[in-house]
Structure 1
Amino acid sequence: MKYATKLVLIIMMVAILGNGSNAAAYEPIRMDNVEQLPEWEMKNSSLGGKLLLSDSPEMVENDGILYQDKVEGNVRLFFYHVNAAKTAKKMDVILENKGTEVAHVKVSKSSLGGPGYAWLVVGKETMTSYLGKTASYQINIPPGGALPLSTSISETAVLPNMLINGIYDFTVDHPINVKVMMLPILEDAIKFSQTAKVLPTDECRLRGTFEGANRKLSSVDAYDPVLYKAIGITLADNEIDHYLTGVDATDGTKVVNYGNYGVVYQIEPPGRNSRRISYYLVPLGGYYAGAIGIHHPEVDWSPMATPRGKVYFGDNKQDFSFLGTYDKSESLSFTFSPPGASNLPVKLVILSQ
């Protein structure tokens, strides 16, 4: 396979004439006109899961609790914070068990990016690691006890203007309190969590608890490459693909997850065995640096960086990331999640050969 980061090809889209039953004429469509492609209808299904999003205040000037809530069952925690204080700090996530039985926490996937000054790099590294293979581990919290979600979160100092980004998937069999915190380096995190105050949110209010952390997109109709040479599937735009709505558990206000950060998509694109089909990821909202999981019998290079060969793309409307050409697209699926520090939406472009 060959990979590219700049537009070097012309996409030919079929313009259907009349009622669509006659021969079609081809009209050249460039990647900078990708929004003109026919939008393919996808069925959007929730696969459940609870998402805790901690991204407000994004720029943290004071010590305290950034987000907290009581959870049970299948949970994903996504946190994204920058140290905006004048001194070094540390991040930590404390799990508290206020019940009378041991709470068993099974962490199935985990990814920690940073701390780092290059925010797009941190977001991309976090997503690439998350979509790869990560080791699971177990935490057993005794009644009335408290333990960190991961000792690695607080191991490295977060210097001023550094970003730290984490994604953790876990299941828990009894209710526990999750506390995401920024605190002084020498402070004991568990003791700090017992008296720390919740910091006020910023104007973006990008924090909360959301149902539907996992989402499946599947094609409503079969894709006919004779009728539609090129099509698009838009992700995280809040018009075609809606943002999650939830509640900020710290004050009870309704919130929106602008960008669907922390939501993991399983995408089953339309395909036909009769033709080779190529796939591209195109940023529509600006700077973008992430990764995508590719699941196919012939693929051994997943997850793939988007883009490859450089940190980010999206500053040029002709930018795209080639995801491969496949003979048997029925066996193909993608795992996608909006990476921290990147702009949404994006479009998955499908082109039959």
Structure 2
Amino acid sequence: MLKWLRLASAAVVVTIAVSMIGSQLALAKSGLPANTDMFNITELPVTVTEQSGKLLLSDSPEMVPADGIMYQDTVSGDIRLFFHHVNATKEPKKIVVLLMNNTTEAADVFVHKYGLGGPGLDYLAIGKDAQMKYLEQKEVQLIEVPANGSALLEPILKDTVVLPDELVNGIYDFESKTPIKVVVMMLPVDAKPAEFVAKAQILPTDSQRLRGTFSGSDRVIVPNQAYNAAKQGVVGITLADHKLDRYVSGIDATDGSNTLNYGNYGVMYKLFLPTAFEQKYAVYLNPRGGEYAGGMFVNYRHQEQLTLGTPADKLFFGNKTVKDVSHLGDYDGGQSLWLTFSPPGASNLPVKILLAPTAK
């Protein structure tokens, strides 16, 4: 028995050593220093500024059990709509967004950016696709909503069949000086949205209650001091954890109740990273809550712009580990660098933005 215990202890030591070597190799492969302790990343102090604009979140019920309205509210000005719904019935359906103008004058709705993913069964892929399209899209569209009439925010959804268990995820930025009622609903395939909405019932929320209207659709984050790779080593900025970075609160316009946007879905983060001159550094995205699939828009020196998949080499990462990182590039210190990020649909939060010395 004692001999077996000694052998078992030795096996444990070997297992731990192999695990540590594997972790060091993984970090070295990522470009991070091999001795990086991913469980104790120094947090970089930042200043957070919320920018104006309304965020409409429609993600509850996420699994839509019947025809009806998932969310609606009347808004004007700068608006972002994030909707994320699965047809949880046993029949084909449509999921549409109807814009209703209840005034006596026609309304012009300008769509500045948008991304649509699905319908489909691979929820992570759909969330990533919607976000990548949103970050890359630059074409402005005009939707004319007649007086006392309606129009579809995304006309293609009128003819798109959503099969059972399929997800549709959309992110739309639009502007209207005229108050517009935004209605997200699921309806029969052969139903006409403008007719269906007149008799549609508001569906009850699910236990997550991820729906509502929120102020501050954008969040600007700037570190309190310039990052110096040689002096500070690996540091991080935590996003969407509700501790260092709080979730936005709002009102569910369907019943007037208070609501919290768990995960800050639909919030657009704009990070400016001031850095010391003559110090090259690397930037990474590190998922901390589980499986993650999204995108990142990079604006370097005010002229080099690109959209990166996070991760870029596969659909998702972060499964049962906090050590996965997606390399967002190596940069020269002292140059302007902006990152635009938003929590993608179907992915887990929080995440960290890591700054590190470049690999030797």
**What TM-score do the two structures reach when normalised by structure 2?**
0.89
Query: Using the alignment, how far apart are the partners of 2:323 and 2:102 within structure 1?
Result: 54
Whether 2:63 is the aligned partner of 1:59: answer: yes
Alignment-derived partner of residue 302 in structure 1: 306
- For 2:79, the equivalent position in structure 1 comes to 75
Gap runs ≥5 in structure 1: 13-27
| Residue among 147, 152, 156 paired with 2:151 | 147
1:234 matched to 2:209: no
8 Å contact from structure 2 (residues 301, 335) kept in 1:
no
Match of 2:130 in 1: 126
Is the Cα–Cα contact under 8 Å of residues 55 and 207 in structure 1 kept in the other structure?
yes
- Letter paired with 1:238: H
1:130 match: secondary structure: helix
CA distance in 1 between counterparts of 2:84 and 2:138 reads: 20
Counterpart AA for 1:155: D
Partner letter of residue 49 of structure 2? S
Indicate the residue corresponding to 1:209 in structure 2: 213
Taking a change above 3 Å as real, the CA distance of residues 114 and 10 of structure 1, as seen in their structure-2 partners, is closer
Please give the per-residue CA displacement for 1:169-215, whole angstroms capped at 9, x wherever unaligned.
00001111110000000000110011101000000000000000011
8 Å contact from structure 2 (residues 298, 307) kept in 1: yes
Q: Which residue matches 1:338?
A: 343
Hey, what's the Cα distance between the residues in 1 that align with 2:225 and 2:303?
25
2:252 to 248, 272, 276: 248
1:326 aligns with 2:331: yes
Give, in angstroms, the shift of residue 143 of structure 1: 1.5
Deviation at 1:298, TM superposition (A): 9.0
- Residue 190 (1) aligns with residue 194 (2): yes
Residue 187 of structure 2 aligns with an amino acid whose one-letter code is: L
Aligned residue number for residue 278 of structure 1: 282
Map 1:96-115 onto structure 2 (within 5 A). Answer: 96-115=100-119
- Bigger drift between 248-257 and 320-329 goes to 320-329
Q: Given residue 319 of structure 1, which amino acid in structure 2 is its aligned partner?
A: D
1:122 to partner: Cα distance: 0.2
**C-alpha distance in 2 between matches for 1:339 and 1:175:** 28
Query: Could you tell me how far apart the structure 2 residues matched to 1:330 and 1:346 are?
Result: 24
Q: Is the alpha carbon distance of 1:115 and 1:349 closer, same or farther for their aligned partners in structure 2, counting shifts above 3 Å?
A: same
Q: CA deviation at 1:150?
A: 1.4
Question: For 1:108-155, what per-residue CA distance to the aligned partner results, in whole angstroms no more than 9, with x for missing partners?
Answer: 111110001000000000000000024211112122111111101232
* Structure 2 partner of 1:258: 262
- Tell me how far 1:255 sits from its aligned partner: 0.5
**Separation in 2, partners of 1:259, 1:104:** 32
TM-score, normalised on structure 1?
A: 0.90
Tell me, in whole angstroms, the C-alpha distance in 2 between the residues paired with 1:220 and 1:158.
47
Query: Which has the higher mean CA deviation after the structures are superposed, 143-152 or 250-259?
Result: 143-152
Aligned mates of 1:274, 1:207 — CA distance in 2? 46
What amino acid maps onto 2:242 in structure 1? N
Report the CA distance between 1:9 and its aligned residue. Answer: 5.1
Structure 2 counterparts to residues 6-17 of structure 1, below 5 A = 7=27, 8=29, 11-12=32-33
Report the Cα distance in structure 2 between the residues aligned to 1:305 and 1:272, rounded to whole angstroms.
27
Structure 1 contact 112–153 (Cα < 8 Å) conserved: no
Q: Summarize the Cα distance change of 1:9–1:193 in structure 2 as closer, same or farther, 3 Å threshold.
A: closer
Structure 2's unaligned 5+ residue stretches are 1-24
Report if aligned partners of 2:38, 2:323 keep a CA contact under 8 Å in 1: no
User: 1:286·1:344 contact (CA, 8 Å) conserved in 2?
Assistant: yes
Return the letter of the residue paired with 1:281: L
Q: Deviations over 1:214-247 (max 9, x none)?
A: 1100111222334311110001011111100000
One-letter amino acid matched to 1:170? F
Matches within 5 A, 1:31-42: 33-42=37-46
Whole-angstrom distance in 2 between the partners of 1:281 and 1:299: 22
Contact 1:10 1:29 in 2 (8 A): no
Q: CA deviation at 1:165?
A: 0.2
Report deviation, 1:317. 3.1
Q: Which has the larger radius of gyration?
A: 2
Q: Give secondary structure in 2 for the equivalent of 1:154.
A: helix
Structure 2 counterpart SS, 1:34: coil
What count of residue pairs does the alignment treat as equivalent?
332
Displaced runs of 4 or more, over 6 A: none
Aligned residue number for residue 140 of structure 2 = 136
8 Å contact kept, 1:105–1:140? yes
